[in-house]
Amino acid sequence: MSKRKSMGIQHSMCVQPVFLIGTYDEDGNVNFAPITWVSVTWDTDHFMLVISMFGSKKTKLNVIKTKQLSANLVSTNMLYLVDYFGSNSRNKGIKDKKSYDYSNGEVLHVPTLDLSKWVYECEVKKTVQTGDSHTFFCDIKNVQIDNYIDISDGIDLTLFDPVVYSGHYHSIGKHLGKIGDYIKAD
């Protein structure tokens, strides 16, 4: 029997995928910000992406104004962009000191990072404010994945090489199976 110990409540105990949230501002400038408070919920007949942002980030202000965003899943080869976008505020000027390519979304007018292997194009349907945080409940209007990844038999996340955050960056190592694979073993 394994033993556990109480750790108290701390941000690093919340394991989360890393996304770069993309927006355009009122002048058409591109902005991306790293956000790890991303999840999914169910509305009456469809999934919704749930994204929470703290503070006064330019990206958050853009989402409030435009009601649109892209959520670009971060792969390990994109960590330099996470650190760059996270340590440079768009409120202090255009983030253009690192080279990156982006395209416009296929369904919505949102910037999507060409390096990302999995991108959501989202439209905000509801916003809930708690303190300095805004939580956006977003209709997923389109999902783009890398042309070379086959998901016809389910999603193997190792092919997307996502970054997971818990106070430090982590990657995932191997595919363990699908729902039901382990009950069959009984």
Whether the Cβ atoms of residue 66 and residue 147 lie closer than 8 Å to each other: no
What are the residues whose beta carbons fall under 8 Å from the beta carbon of 70, sequence distance 6 or more?
A: 21, 22, 23, 105, 108, 110, 111, 112, 113, 119, 120, 121, 122
87: how many CB neighbours lie within 10 A of its CB?
Answer: 9
Domains parsed from the chain with CATH numbers: 16-172 (2.30.110.10)
What are the helix (H) ranges across the chain?
58-66, 79-87
Q: What is the pLDDT of residue 25?
A: 92
Q: What is the pLDDT of residue 96?
A: 64
Q: Which residues of the chain have pLDDT under 50?
A: none
- pLDDT per residue as tens digits for the range 97-107: 678 999 999 99
pTM above 0.85, yes or no: yes
Q: What is the pLDDT of residue 180?
A: 75
151 by DSSP, 3-state: which? coil
